[in-house]
Amino acid sequence: MTKRFYRIGMAALALTGLMTLFAATASMAEEKPRIAFAKGANSAVCKGEIQGMDRDIYPITAKAGQTMHVKVSNRLHLVLFHLQKPGKAEAYLPKAGTEDDATEWTGVLPESGTYKIIVGAMRGEDTTYTLDVRITK
């Protein structure tokens, strides 16, 4: 009888471990290559695909005082983004934070460094998207 309870306990423990692992990996962020403009250009277009609750993160380096324009779109209007300030994990630009659900943003950058454009899907649906980024002086 004791061996049976031991086996049931071990099976329950293994199942709990697997469920924790799946929950931790269910919402993953994939860091994409740094956005770089072609020589002489001030804009770039990136295409991507979001699976479920995943996020794509696009680093882009810019200088204080430059104007950045970001737009994300797809056919079903299911994508949005957040703009994270350089070196600040929970600090976002105004009107492009976690509560704003931005699909388009234009503003003057407050500091120099590497910003992160974090793209996600509404309602956790799989979807393709296009990200347009432009920086002017």
Percent of the chain with pLDDT over 90: 64
104-137 confidence digits (pLDDT tens): 999 999 999 999 999 999 887 888 999 999 999 8
The predicted structure's pLDDT at residue 22:
33
**Residue % of the chain over a pLDDT of 70:** 80
Instruction: Tell me the pLDDT of the chain averaged across its residues.
Output: 84
Q: Give the list of residues 6+ apart from residue 50 with CB closer than 8 angstroms, or none.
A: 56, 79, 119, 120, 121, 126, 127, 128, 129
Closest alpha carbon to 129 in 60, 72, 65:
72
* b/e code 48-79 from CB counts within 10 Å (16+ = b): bebeeebbbbbbbebeeeeebebbbebeeebb
Question: Distance between CA 78 and CA 121 in Å, rounded?
Answer: 6
pTM, two decimal places? 0.78
What pLDDT shows up at residue 20?
A: 34
| Helix/strand number for the chain, H first, E second | 1, 8
Distances in Å between the Cα of 133 and the Cα atoms of 9, 59, 102 are 53, 11, 14
- Would you place residue 16 in the very low, low, confident or very high pLDDT band (cuts 50, 70, 90)? very low
Mean pLDDT of 89-113: 95
